[in-house]
Amino acid sequence: MSDKPLFHFEISERKIFLRLFDTFFVLLALSIVGIIFQFSYFRIDSQYWVWTVVLVVFFNFFATVFELYDLQKASRFDSVLQNVILTTSLTVLFYILTPFITPSLPENRLQILFFFLSIAGILLVWRYAYIALITTPRFYKRVLVVGDSFDIKLIAETLRNSDPNYSVIGFINTEKEYADFDYEGLTRFKVEELSSAVEEYHINEVIVAHAHKRNLILPLYNQLNELLMRGVPIKDYYHVYEETTRRIPVDKVDKDFYRYFPFSRNNANQFYRLSSRIFDIIAAVVGIFFGVSILPFILVGNLLANRGELFYSQERIGKYGKPFTILKFRTMLHDAELAGPQYAQKDDLRITPFGKFLRRSRIDEIPQFLNVLKGEMSMIGPRPERPVFVKELSEAIPFYETRHVIKPGLTGWAQVMANYGTSHTDSLEKLQYDLYYIKHRGLFLDIDILLKTFSTIIFYRGQ
């Protein structure tokens, strides 16, 4: 008999939980400091309510940018420590630099230090308590997987990597010829043991893991229905996979893909498309002005380190498979592709030292704002790929060309969530993220991508 879990939080619930309690404890700490130490710089009352609203907005923005609500990072105190310091620093900096909507600087500058320490201190104490209590196995979601022809290790690892509080306890594989192996702590149950296993191991959710379920025999269906009537959630693996990993398992759904994959209504929503285009134009103009302002520094760096042309152009595939030419700052040696087109690799020797800086900071992509302004690209969408790679990947990966139903993007869901594509496996993972975006694209997902893009730039993760 396993220990009964207290209760569990869904991914979205934990993120809301963290955000609400972060805000609550910050305001609580500032209130207590103000009362005990007669802290006059920041006050929470009806007369100065705007100060509180501005602080909450700044804090939540920078907390998102610095990944305080990334559940993997939120479960490790070393990551929390770094992200809390960064979030607090930028929140306080922007707060004191906006005196028209925030209080004027106090005569005693030590109050700014107290302001910073109050926010950072309470966040570190509360997040340490969260890690020590909420991320323990007592709060894990306990799952049992049912089906045929599935890889239980892969399922367990995928769900665990996406959500640290997801725990696959065991499985029922209905295939008759199925060898027994060591499943590293995972228990294999018989079909007739399903109901008792759910009760004995305090299972929170049953996942049916095969699309066709050919071998889900009638007794098993009856047990699943009985569990459903008892209030036990029964979910399809592909839906769980999509909700948990936020990507589409295109390599698993095969011929059922287009039935399973309804395109986002925003793809045909004229208001959304017009708003996106207006945003693209504004962002492109701002990006071009920014690029012009830093161009002298890039010219000097290119002259000293790259010693060659500043720009290079390359053909890429755009919306509906139409080719177009992108412009980028050159980051590679002149003879980088003497042996023919090839994927960029990690620590690629063809990339110059200055080119590596341009790539990691994403500055090399600034000239693509011209493509955005011309309407060949959007700010957000799948990464535009080269024709030779599109042909190769389309032959190897099912439904690869589906990503061309929308404009390619300067940034995108796959760009901020997946590693740089250096193989067919990486390209498959990026396709799964691209299709998730195409299926769910909308205002809130776009905002999420933009915030994650800021994180990519700030943490110097470009490739």
Nearest to 116 by CA among 18, 41, 17: 41
Place of tokens 């302004």: 373
pLDDT tens for the 463 residues of the chain, in order = 555 655 667 778 888 999 999 999 999 998 888 888 777 777 777 777 888 899 999 999 999 999 899 888 888 899 999 999 999 999 999 998 887 888 887 777 788 888 899 999 999 999 999 988 877 777 788 889 887 767 787 788 888 888 777 888 888 877 655 555 556 678 888 888 888 888 888 888 898 876 455 556 777 888 888 888 888 888 888 888 888 888 888 766 666 666 666 677 777 788 888 999 999 999 999 999 999 999 999 998 888 877 778 888 889 999 999 999 999 988 877 666 665 566 666 666 678 888 888 888 888 899 999 999 999 999 999 999 999 889 988 888 888 888 899 999 999 999 998 876 566 778 888 989 999 999 889 999 999 999 999 888 887 665 5
Cβ-Cβ contacts under 8 Å for 340 (sequence gap 6 or more): none
Return the half-sphere exposure (C-beta side, CA atoms, 13 A cut-off) of residue 121. Answer: 11
Kindly list the distances between the CA atom of residue 50 and the CA atoms of 64, 139, 378, in Å, as whole numbers in the listed order. 21, 37, 36
| Bridge partner residues of 327 (DSSP) | 313
> pTM to 2 decimals?
0.82
Place of tokens 């302001």: 115
Region label for 328, one of left (φ > 0), alpha (ψ between -120 and 50) or beta (otherwise): beta
Q: Apex CA 222: angle with CA 221 and CA 223, to 5°?
A: 90
